[in-house]
């Protein structure tokens, strides 16, 4: 993603007709662009501070913006505009993404943008400390629903802006009454923004607040009840069945939801057949922890081992829900699979599930040989929420000096809680896994804070030193963009990565063997897993990125 923010100062901001004329002119120009998100709004009365009209645009790439920059900036300028401050930036590039949507808080109505200029003579360590501390502030302010800190690529206006600080609030009182009066807020302002402070680093700032009207929200292609017309007919049929039959997870207590989902699951077939499929109880961080160990037929000297964490929004699913998938993976890749029946939210919030999977990895390394597994080739894998747990366990092992994990296999992983990405905007309604459900899952798993890298892996300062990775995404899945961005960040930090997107497919498709496109997709996945488990993978900087088309009539 690539974002553009402009704070427009008008020649006569007190003339409502002049303000409306500027807003209409800019909106007309923006409508002709290939934007993914567009907000053009006048400042709320009584809170003007650094601009009378805000223009905030999001594009898929910087190239899209450059292609329409001249037309948009021409519309922003004119004799009725006195001055423009602005920034171009990659959203969340200060190692953070949108974080929030607090339980029971409702939708935000007020959005605030600050352009900041951090002292260009400050050493990088100080700048990074400033960024970290800014991002520790919002969890203390319950009226703030989301926040994002980004580093500026190119600045416009009165100062060489270096950072963009974006926030949303439940209402105007939440901004002016609660946030502005909060002692934590003033503590950071006094520390970083006050010229009298020894840690004074923010040399200039300009801000803008406005009411985020629903009419300005990005369009969702399903809002009119129509999915994309180019989907494979089997995908359309499956999505229609899932949309009709899968419960609205937000309407049930967790225990009841688990019973509903389990009651609709087909009986276990226990296929493919395994030489051994045995439940083992070990000592876990929260008591007894059940693992299911799958050993395929055949008798090689040793096999790699995959510790598998199932999906289910951190709230539901079990060893049985993913039994067929684990058996198929064990047989096709010729690996031992150790599936983990980790503790579920909300009864056991983060990081309980991660700690259970970490304990399972430690046990597996110590006991792999008993099942014909190679303790030096133990990988982690998971789908959806399990992909998150695989990523965070890899970070925990690195930080704790724990077991050397051979690979991390992330299948349409739930990496973070940024609900403003392109894939959330495109596929957040009508494609089985919804934005509404994803918000609810995060509220169950991590209701009290998501600052830790052991909850959201992108919180890590660096991903260097993590195991080689396979990151598989599905085009029609709301978390698709965040998975792709995580793969790119892994690669940028020197981790060998295979990034593979299955186009035309939806969240969870790998565990629907009845779907005609699942079997060929699995064959591709098995090849990717074999490749990343090869000890030679990544020795020469091996990386790749490719897609799989599954659309068409």
Q: Please provide residue 119's backbone torsions phi and psi, each rounded to the nearest 5 degrees.
A: -50, 120
Q: Which is catalytic among the residues 97, 417, 477, 500?
A: 477
Cα 517 to chain centroid, rounded: 26
Residue 306 contacts residue 530 (beta carbons within 8 Å)? no
Tell me how far apart the alpha carbons of residues 188 and 184 are, in angstroms, rounded to a whole number.
Answer: 7
Token match 């085009």: residue?
Answer: 475
Residue 410 contacts residue 382 (beta carbons within 8 Å)? yes
Tell me how far apart the alpha carbons of residues 93 and 97 are, in angstroms, rounded to a whole number.
Answer: 8
In SS3 terms, 209-265 reads as EEECCHHHCCCCCCCCCCCCCCECHHHHHHHHHHHHHCCCHHHCCHHHHHHHHHHCC
Neighbours of 285 (CB within 10 A): 15
Residue 312 contacts residue 325 (beta carbons within 8 Å)? no
Tell me how far apart the alpha carbons of residues 429 and 413 are, in angstroms, rounded to a whole number.
Answer: 18
56 is catalytic: no
Among 368, 355, 390, smallest CA distance to 532 is for: 390
Distances from the Cα of 238 to the Cα of 221, 226, 232, 517, angstroms: 18, 15, 10, 11
Q: Please provide residue 120's backbone torsions phi and psi, each rounded to the nearest 5 degrees.
A: -70, -10
Tell me how far apart the alpha carbons of residues 453 and 465 are, in angstroms, rounded to a whole number.
Answer: 15
31 is catalytic: no
Q: Which is catalytic among the residues 97, 101, 150, 384?
A: 384
Q: Please provide residue 177's backbone torsions phi and psi, each rounded to the nearest 5 degrees.
A: -85, -55
Strand order across the 53-59 sheet: 37-42, 53-59, 2-10, 81-89, 144-156, 163-169, 110-118, 202-211
Among 22, 99, 9, 21, smallest CA distance to 52 is for: 9
Region of 486 please: left (phi>0), alpha (psi -120 to 50) or beta: alpha
Give the pair of three-digit tokens for residue 276: 């051994």
168 is catalytic: no
Give the pair of three-digit tokens for residue 378: 């133990």
Tell me how far apart the alpha carbons of residues 442 and 194 are, in angstroms, rounded to a whole number.
Answer: 36
Length of the chain: 553
Would you please indicate which residues are annotated as catalytic (active-site) residues?
384, 477, 507
């Amino acid at each position: 993603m690539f974002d553009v923010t402009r704070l427009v100062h008008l020649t006569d901001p007190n003339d409502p007709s002049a303000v409306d004329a500027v807003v209409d002119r800019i909106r007309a120009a923006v409508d002709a662009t290939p934007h993914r998100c567009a907000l053009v709004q006048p400042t709320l009365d009584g809170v003007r501070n650094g601009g009378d009209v805000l223009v905030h645009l999001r594009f898929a790439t910087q190239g899209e913006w450059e292609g329409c920059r001249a037309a948009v900036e021409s519309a922003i300028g004119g004799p009725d505009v006195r001055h423009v401050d602005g920034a171009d930036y990659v959203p969340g590039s200060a190692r953070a993404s949108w974080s929030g949507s607090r339980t029971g808080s409702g939708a935000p109505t007020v959005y605030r943008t600050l352009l900041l200029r951090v002292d260009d003579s400050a050493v990088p360590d100080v700048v990074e400390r400033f960024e970290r501390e800014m991002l520790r502030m919002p969890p203390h302010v319950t009226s703030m629903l989301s926040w994002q800190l980004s580093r500026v690529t190119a600045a416009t206006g009165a100062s060489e802006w270096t950072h963009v600080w974006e926030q949303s609030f439940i209402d105007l009182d939440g901004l002016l009454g609660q946030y502005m009066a909060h002692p934590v807020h003033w503590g950071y302002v006094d520390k970083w923004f006050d010229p009298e402070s020894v840690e004074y680093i923010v040399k200039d700032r300009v801000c803008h607040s406005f009411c985020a009207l629903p009419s300005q929200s990005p369009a969702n292609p399903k809002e009119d009840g129509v999915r994309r017309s180019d989907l494979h007919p089997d995908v359309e049929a499956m999505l229609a069945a899932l949309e009709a039959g899968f419960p609205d997870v937000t309407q049930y207590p967790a225990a009841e939801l688990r019973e509903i989902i389990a009651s609709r699951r087909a009986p276990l077939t226990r296929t493919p057949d395994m030489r051994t499929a045995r439940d083992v109880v070990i000592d876990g961080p929260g008591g007894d922890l059940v693992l299911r160990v799958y050993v395929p037929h055949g008798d090689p000297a040793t096999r790699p081992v995959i510790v598998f964490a199932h999906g289910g929004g951190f709230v539901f699913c079990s060893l049985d829900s993913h039994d067929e998938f684990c058996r198929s993976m064990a047989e096709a890749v010729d690996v031992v699979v150790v599936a983990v029946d980790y503790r579920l939210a909300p009864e056991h919030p983060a990081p309980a599930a991660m700690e259970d999977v970490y304990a399972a990895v430690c046990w597996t390394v110590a006991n792999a040989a008993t099942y014909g597994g190679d303790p030096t080739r133990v990988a982690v894998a998971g789908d959806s929420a399990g992909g998150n747990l695989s990523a965070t366990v890899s970070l925990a092992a690195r930080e704790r000096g724990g077991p050397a994990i051979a690979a991390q296999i992330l299948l349409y992983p739930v990496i973070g809680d940024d609900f403003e990405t392109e894939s959330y905007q495109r596929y957040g309604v009508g494609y089985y896994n919804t934005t509404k459900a994803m918000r609810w899952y995060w509220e169950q798993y991590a209701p009290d804070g998501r600052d830790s890298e052991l909850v959201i892996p992108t919180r890590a300062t660096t991903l260097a030193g993590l195991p080689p990775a396979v990151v598989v995404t599905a085009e029609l899945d709301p978390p698709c963009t965040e998975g792709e961005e995580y793969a790119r960040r892994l690669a940028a930090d020197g981790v060998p990565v295979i990034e593979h997107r299955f186009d035309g497919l939806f969240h969870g498709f790998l565990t629907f063997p009845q779907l005609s496109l699942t079997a060929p997709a699995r064959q591709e996945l098995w090849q990717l897993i074999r490749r990343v488990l090869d000890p030679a993978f990544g020795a020469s900087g091996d990386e790749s990125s490719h897609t799989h088309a599954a659309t068409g009539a």
